[in-house]
């Protein structure tokens, strides 16, 4: 187990399921944990709906390589879960070899967002790594997943800023990520009126100047809806999106929609 890192008592929780792009999510979470001197907790969530499906006697899956239908049962699901959990542990171990980290991995069953909410009462930051991908290891296409992971690691860090304390924390987290990327930080100003942009941008400039940094680009998000944030992330080909949130539980379904729409990790900052 990695040695403790001195600093503030924070926790980064990264939530992954069998449809996640786990490599890029773990990389983002590890960079955050190291940059913010935080503990990293990984949650690998087995979808309870998938478990119920595997228990049905008539369940079938389509083989990725053979294109043949075959029995999809609980034993095969268990094997796949063990394989992917082992891969996640290896990824965490590799991340810890590159940077000082305290980390843990827990395998749980349930809905990704619901499980996340149960485990984040003491967490400062949450990293979601799910995408709209096949939710079973046996039908994933590894080469496609690796291409998306490599692309996400090369692309800009996008931080949403609305003037709240959580948004300021999002900027700090964005800088921790941006230092290990190509140096591109895109700040999306969330404001209903255009007249509010200048004041919010001044706040961002001041916060970044303290760390001798500056944003590469500013955007205006007049519509603060999750769909618009997802569309902005896709247009800018974001590698990571950082989103300040007032209440994790109240916006549960919105977050689920966001991580389903974009192929990069989403960091939630309460």
Specify which residues 103 forms β-bridges with: 40
Domain with CATH 3.40.50.12370 in the chain: 11-149
The CATH number that domain 155-269 falls under is: 3.40.50.620
Return the CATH number of the domain spanning residue range 11-149: 3.40.50.12370
**What local confidence, expressed as pLDDT, does residue 153 receive?**
55
Run of H or E including 94 = helix 74-98
Cα 202 vs. chain centroid, distance in angstroms? Answer: 28
pTM tops 0.85: no
Closest listed residue to residue 213, CA positions, set 259, 181, 245 = 181
Token pair, residue 198, equals 């200048």
217, β-bridge pairs: 186
Residue 52, classified by CB atoms within 10 Å of its CB into exposed (0-12), middle (13-18) or buried (19+), is: exposed
* Phi/psi of residue 173, nearest 5 degrees: -65, -40
Q: What is the pLDDT of residue 250?
A: 58
The pLDDT profile of the chain, 270 residues, written as one tens digit per residue, is 444 444 444 789 998 877 666 778 888 899 899 888 899 999 998 876 666 665 655 544 444 444 445 555 677 777 878 888 888 899 899 999 988 889 999 998 887 777 877 877 656 788 887 654 443 333 343 444 444 445 545 688 999 999 999 999 999 999 888 776 656 899 999 999 999 999 999 999 999 999 888 898 999 998 877 788 888 888 888 888 999 887 666 555 666 667 667 778 888 888
The pLDDT of residue 3: 44
């Amino acid at each position: 187990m990695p040695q403790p890192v001195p600093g503030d008592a924070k926790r980064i929780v990264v939530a992954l399921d069998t449809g996640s792009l786990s490599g890029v999510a773990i990389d983002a979470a590890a960079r955050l944990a190291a940059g913010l001197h935080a503990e990293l907790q990984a949650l690998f969530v087995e979808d309870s709906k998938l478990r119920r499906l595997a228990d049905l006697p008539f369940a079938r899956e389509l083989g990725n390589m053979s294109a043949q239908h075959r029995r999809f049962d609980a034993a095969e699901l268990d094997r796949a879960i063990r394989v992917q959990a082992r891969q996640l542990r290896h990824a965490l171990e590799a991340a810890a070899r590159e940077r000082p980290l305290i980390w843990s991995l827990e395998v749980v069953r349930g809905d990704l967002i619901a499980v996340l909410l149960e485990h984040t009462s003491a967490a400062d930051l949450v990293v979601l790594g799910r995408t709209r991908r096949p939710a079973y290891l046996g039908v994933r296409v590894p080469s496609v997943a690796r291409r998306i992971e490599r692309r996400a690691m090369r692309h800009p860090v996008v931080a949403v800023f609305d003037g709240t304390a959580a948004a300021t924390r999002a900027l700090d987290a964005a800088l921790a990520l941006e230092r290990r990327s190509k140096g591109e930080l895109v700040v999306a100003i969330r404001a209903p009126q255009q007249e509010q942009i200048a004041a919010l941008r001044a706040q961002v400039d001041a916060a970044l100047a303290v760390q001798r940094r500056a944003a590469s680009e500013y955007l205006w998000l007049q519509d603060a809806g999750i769909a618009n944030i997802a569309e902005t992330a896709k247009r800018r080909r974001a590698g990571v999106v950082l989103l300040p949130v007032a209440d994790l539980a109240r916006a549960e379904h919105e977050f689920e929609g966001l991580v389903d729409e974009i192929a990069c990790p989403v960091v939630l900052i309460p």
